[in-house]
Structure 1
Amino acid sequence: MDWLRVHRGDAPLVVAFPHGGIGLAGLDDQFVSPWRARLDTDWWIADLYAFAADMGATLVATDISRSVIDMNRDPSGTSLYPGQATTELCPTTTFDGAPLYRFGEPDEAEITQRLHLYHRPYHEALTDELERLGAAHDRVVLYDAHSIRSHVPRLFEGELPQFNIGTNGGTTCAPELETIVAGICATSGKSLVVNGRFKGGWTTRHYGRPEGGVHAIQMELAQRGYMTEPATPTETNWPSPIDPDPTILAVLRQAIAAALNFAKGQT
């Protein structure tokens, strides 16, 4: 599975990247355009957190685009945010509501096939790494790394805070971990919200079992913190390159270090 990348470390920390892929699994002609299918990618997210490997973290990433199948959705198709605008397990629109498919949308058989080919192996890899590290450590942190454009009116009003921490209302990790990471982000002076619009996706909710030793936390970044965001993304201006020295990088290094210290039982 050349689309699935696992870098194994021995520290009790797994950093997951479910939305950084741009591979369209040979479905390019089914989409309105490859650019539109990749519009809502968590651009450069694995590059942004590459330093975590040097700290001993395990990294799990997919190269498959979220437009093919969303690795951070409930495989049953149940909405994570009932009553709010969102995209499906196999999205049919962009975040802005523009149609993704040129003709017909994926039917039940196609969705099942994508689950089998991509969603299931990705989560099997995550499960394997969490179990491997859990056998050697009392506590393991799963840090689910995301990013999104700062302005997506269909999903949220106004400008998204720079740091959006999700723990499903404090249920997926110990309060201490949430407090430490939020404190680091707050000290940066940049905007922050905890369990706001993004409370944690299926990954955080599915694996976060503090009582069992797995503490899961989602970090959704507004992309303005590490790349230039045009007012209107087009094929000629989006995606922009990652900033060579992102202003938020120091904060992310501190957050990852804090999560690792928490997992090790250190203050």
Structure 2
Amino acid sequence: MTSGQLILKQPDGGLAPLPILVSIPHYGTEALPHIGDDDYSEPWFRTFAYGFADTFAGDLYSDLHQQGATVLATPISRIFVDLNRRRADFQQEHGIVRSTRGVVRTHTIREAPIFTHDLRSEELEKRLIHFYDPYYATLDQLLQQIRATHGYALLLDAHTGSPRRMLDYQVIIGTRHGATSHGAIGARVDAIFTQHGFEVHHNISGYAGGNIVRTYGQPEAENIHAIQLEINASLLMTTPRQEFIAQISRGEIPSKNHDNIARLRACLQEVITALPKVLMTLHPNP
């Protein structure tokens, strides 16, 4: 199912749904329908909608419903609504919103305005009601359905990280330092990626888990585990890290590293297959 707010893919082909929900909050590259080229303060800023998305996240995660997981994503770029931030993560003064890293982006990290018009707080509220709230409501509904069926649930919040920010880290598993998931789940994910030749780290500063895993990861109280998975986008492209931003700013899409994408897809398929057994061991009598 696809709507203006959500992309929802559920197991098909007779597969029994697994106790796993895959969330891709930075999947989208689309601008809001009313935003056109003239709305950007600089012509090249129109590429930000693509540049702020998680590069090639769809190539890795969007088909995991074919392994039995449920997949939820959004078509809208996080420059307009960042679903992995707190709803109130923005500043405002006299009704004008200003944000460089929050639930919306109005300015670059160098404080340059991205758009030709100010974003008023009431306009942002309408945007959050239309895009942010339905995503969280659907996450909650799906997790409750999964838990009602299995007695437990796992939320895998799926990302590809900017090569500029992730540097040489290849794969990072975030669990808020063990607060949002039992350690056996992260350990199993780690083992699978390591067996496929990737270096794995846990809870690196800035990647310990965003608002989604923080909100839903309650393994003790609710039998709901949540982990954030960050895969360095440099693994998915042949474009050198130092050229990535310049290429995006020109409106160009990096060239894909098809071999690495295939390797990582194999890892993820194995993860989806292996984790239900781990969950069953952790919750023998849910």
Q: Name 2:265's counterpart in structure 1.
A: 249
Contact 1:150 1:222 in 2 (8 A): yes
Q: Which residue of 2 aligns with 1:83?
A: none
Shift of 1:97: 4.4
The alignment status of 1:213 with 2:226, answered yes or no, reads no
Further displaced range: 164-173 or 179-188: 179-188
User: What residue is the counterpart of 1:12 in the other structure?
Assistant: 19
Who is 1:72 aligned against?
A: 84
Q: CA deviation at 1:237?
A: 7.0
Asked whether the 8 Å contact 2:52–2:77 carries over to 1, the reply is no
Report the Cα offset of residue 241 of structure 1: 4.1
CA RMSD of aligned residues (A): 2.5
Looking at structure 2, the residues matched to 104 and 249 of structure 1 have their Cα atoms a distance apart, in angstroms, of 41
Query: Residues 41 and 6 from structure 1, CA distance in 2 versus in 1: closer, same or farther, beyond 3 angstroms?
Result: same
- What corresponds to 1:171 in structure 2? 179
Q: Give the Cα–Cα distance (whole angstroms) in 2 for the partners of residues 146 and 71 of structure 1.
A: 12
- 1:181 maps onto 2:193 in alignment: no
What is the SS of the residue equivalent to 2:180? coil
- Verify the 8 A CA contact 1:172 1:217 in the aligned structure 2: yes
TM-score, length-scaled by structure 1: 0.86
Structure with more helix by fraction: 2
How far residue 261 of structure 1 moved from its aligned partner, in angstroms, is 2.8
1:228 Cα deviation after fit: 2.4
Post-superposition Cα deviations, 1:44-85, rounded to whole Å, max 9, x if no partner, equal 212312442111110001001100010110112179xxxxxx
2:235 aligned partner: 225
Provide the rounded CA distance (Å) in 2 between the counterparts of 1:92 and 1:262: 42
Question: d(CA) in 2 for partners of 1:241 and 1:126?
Answer: 32
Matched, 1:161 2:152: no
Distance 1:15 1:99, change over 3 A: farther
1:18 alignment partner AA:
P
TM-score by length of 2: 0.80
> Does the 8 A contact of 2:5 with 2:134 survive in 1?
no
Q: What count of residue pairs does the alignment treat as equivalent?
A: 256
Report the residue type matching 2:229 in the other structure. Answer: M
Q: Is the 8 A contact 2:177 2:203 kept in 1?
A: yes
Tell me, yes or no, if the aligned pair for 1:207 and 1:214 is still in contact at 8 Å.
Answer: yes
Q: Distance in 1 between matches of 2:265 and 2:255?
A: 15
Distance in 2 (CA, whole Å) between partners of 1:100 and 1:214 is 40
| Residues 22 and 98 of structure 1, relative CA distance in 2, 3 Å threshold | farther
Say if 1:145 and 1:219, in contact at 8 Å, map to a contact too. Answer: yes
Contact between 1:70 and 1:89, CA under 8 Å: does it hold in 2?
Answer: yes
Give 4+ residue runs of structure 1 displaced > 4 Å after superposition.
Answer: none
Q: Tell me by how many angstroms 1:193 deviates.
A: 1.4
Amino acid at match of 2:258: P
Report how far residue 259 of structure 1 moved: 2.5
Change (3 A) 1:50 1:103: closer
Of 234-243 and 199-208, deviating more is 234-243
Q: Which of residues 115, 119, 124 in structure 2 aligns to 1:106?
A: 119
Larger Rg: 2
Query: Mean alpha-carbon deviation: is it higher for 238-247 or for 109-118?
Result: 238-247
Q: Which runs of 5+ in 2 are unaligned?
A: 12-16, 92-99
Following superposition, the deviation at residue 236 of structure 1 comes to 4.5
SS at match of 1:210: coil
Q: Choose from 1, 4, 7 the match for 1:2.
A: 4
State the secondary structure of the residue aligned to 1:20. Answer: coil
Shift of 1:126: 1.1
Is 1:35 the equivalent of 2:51?
A: no
Partners of 1:261 and 1:78 lie apart in 2 by 41
Unpaired runs of 5+ in structure 1?
Answer: 80-85
Identity over aligned residues, as a percent?
27
